[in-house]
Chains A and B, each alone.
Chain A
């Protein structure tokens, strides 16, 4: 289960959906694994606006990552293709670029390359535990929570 995916998951119990405590789910006994995924800044640019930043900071902290910026970075827009839009010129500030790139690469590592292989995710509202085995989380509920 990738850190990015966790940012889109909450408790499956219907009564918990309205509680702010049900998101993000909290990790316990998480075993991490790093994989190697090709760096793709355009995907990050697309997905970052949809990431809940406060929740990501909580998750990252629980998993031992302390380098997440306090504020969601505002990545440089996709360079305009000069063939399709000749009137717009590409504006890139040469000083800001390397720092931005480092932040984005760290985010790529955290969001896409870091996976929880084994462990539990716990709802902060109802306390239900969702197990993760071999990277696959199980969100099926027992009958008393349905």
Chain B
């Protein structure tokens, strides 16, 4: 059976990977028959309506899924297709209550036009009562127009509503209403998408090594996972004046799923080696708003413990361990290594990293022989963009030389700018010579 997924036209590159990942979670086979980043309508083939409902119920990138009754470039084609495709179904819905809805993309119809089009489906023979509020069945007419050409739709569809998505929770999870946030808190829609792509699900254990105010653990726990978080910045983990990560979990009624937060550095992680994590999500500091620091001293000094009045300085309450600047690329390598050590087979790692639109500074996608890249999603800003990379842990049994020695990124220089090409370029406003027009930006924009 064919179904129509009604996507939202935002974060387009996340949509297909999200549905493919949800298919893994729901254990259904999904085949995309038509999909375009420019269209909110995609046709997929699924076993039945039960599979369709299961597939989309957790989706953030779509509004709902519909049983496809017909498709065409014109209404004549649509009616012919409906007769061909779904006439065997008409009788089933003859006496139930129903309503018709309109969904137009890049175009509009007056109410009178909508009514006339809906009337043209009379031949379906529905005799049940029309109910605008919670009817038994909802039928939707979809019209897709070419952008900027309102003269007539490119494609029209008729679908029977099968199941809604998870988008209704976005209003609840918006950062605007969250108790504890910071300048780097991840947008809740993207955090929930990330949780879906990482296969967050009930009874799994997830970890965020750059927890900040807890955006990702909250999103994962919304989907049932138990979550752990850590940060090198103790102020973030502790919070202030009762505003902390726990307060956020409490706000959403998820406190039972928050395991712990602790203060630690990725390069000196206290996590016990072993395959005990189901998922890792990280949005490492890019070194712009937050300095990218790890434990250590810039010049390698401080190798002796310091004693004040016979007491070890590092055991005092006010002691602050020295930190040094670190390279973003090296941080990514460390994160991948950690994921390989801790993830269960097929467990996923999702990490956010910047990538400037300008090829000069494009950071390569880090790789590890034990991690398979599952998807690359892009969020574009005005002058730069960032990627969400998702990997899955390849089982050792399918891989023999997993313990291949890894090449560490060599560190050159010690200042934040030396170590982070992205930070340097960010503060220079990405104004180096551009090789052609930046993708997706109108000509004549500031460069």
Interface residues of A (CB under 8 A from B): 1-2, 4-5, 7-14, 17, 23, 37-38, 40, 42-43, 45-47, 50, 52, 112, 129-130, 133-144, 146
B269 at the interface (CB under 8 A from A): yes
B256 x A143 contact (CB < 8 A): no
B11 at the interface (CB under 8 A from A): no
User: What distance in Å separates the Cβ of A70 from its nearest Cβ neighbour in chain B?
Assistant: 22
Contacting residue for B271 out of A1, A9, A135, CB 8 A: A9
CA distance A4 to B302 in the complex (A): 34
B260 x A12 contact (CB < 8 A): no
Residues 189 to 241 of chain B near chain A (Cβ within 8 Å)? 202-205, 226, 228, 230, 232, 234, 237-238
B432 at the interface (CB under 8 A from A): no
> Known contacts A9-B272, A134-B238; is A143 also within 8 Å of B204 by CB?
no
B296 x A146 contact (CB < 8 A): yes
Interface size bracket, B side: 35 or more
CA distance A139 to B228 in the complex (A): 14
B295 x A8 contact (CB < 8 A): no
> Known contacts A8-B271, A42-B203; is A139 also within 8 Å of B297 by CB?
no
User: What distance in Å separates the Cβ of B307 from its nearest Cβ neighbour in chain A?
Assistant: 11
Interface string of B240-275 (1 = CB under 8 A from A): 000000000000000010011111110011111111
| Chain B residues whose C-beta falls within 8 Å of the C-beta of A141 in the assembled complex | 265, 268, 295, 321
A136 x B263 contact (CB < 8 A): yes
A144 x B256 contact (CB < 8 A): no
| Chain B residues whose C-beta falls within 8 Å of the C-beta of A134 in the assembled complex | 238
A139 x B256 contact (CB < 8 A): no
> Known contacts A1-B262, A5-B260, A12-B268; is A143 also within 8 Å of B226 by CB?
no
CA distance A69 to B115 in the complex (A): 71
A140 x B203 contact (CB < 8 A): no
> Known contacts A38-B256, A46-B203, A47-B205; is A144 also within 8 Å of B302 by CB?
yes
> Known contacts A38-B256, A46-B203, A52-B272; is A142 also within 8 Å of B262 by CB?
no
| Chain A residues whose C-beta falls within 8 Å of the C-beta of B202 in the assembled complex | 42-43
> Known contacts A9-B271, A46-B203, A144-B304; is A139 also within 8 Å of B263 by CB?
yes
User: What distance in Å separates the Cβ of B299 from its nearest Cβ neighbour in chain A?
Assistant: 10
CA distance A77 to B263 in the complex (A): 36
User: What distance in Å separates the Cβ of A116 from its nearest Cβ neighbour in chain B?
Assistant: 10
B91 at the interface (CB under 8 A from A): no
B131 at the interface (CB under 8 A from A): no
Contacting residue for A143 out of B263, B276, B302, CB 8 A: B302
Residues 297 to 315 of chain B near chain A (Cβ within 8 Å)? 297, 301-305, 313-315
Mind listing 6 A-B residue pairs with CB under 8 Å? A50-B205, A50-B274, A140-B232, A142-B313, A142-B321, A146-B296
| Chain A residues whose C-beta falls within 8 Å of the C-beta of B271 in the assembled complex | 8-10
A140 x B273 contact (CB < 8 A): no
| Chain A residues whose C-beta falls within 8 Å of the C-beta of B238 in the assembled complex | 133-134, 136
| Chain A residues whose C-beta falls within 8 Å of the C-beta of B226 in the assembled complex | 43, 47
B321 x A143 contact (CB < 8 A): yes
B123 at the interface (CB under 8 A from A): no
Residue in B204, B272, B305 whose Cβ sees the most chain A Cβ within 10 Å: B272
Contacting residue for A23 out of B205, B272, B276, B321, CB 8 A: B272
B399 at the interface (CB under 8 A from A): no
Residue in B238, B268, B274, B305 whose Cβ sees the most chain A Cβ within 10 Å: B268
| Chain B residues whose C-beta falls within 8 Å of the C-beta of A37 in the assembled complex | 256
Given contacts A38-B256, A141-B265, 15 further A-B contacts (CB under 8 A): A1-B260, A2-B259, A2-B260, A5-B259, A8-B272, A12-B268, A43-B203, A43-B226, A45-B203, A46-B205, A140-B268, A142-B319, A142-B321, A144-B303, A146-B295
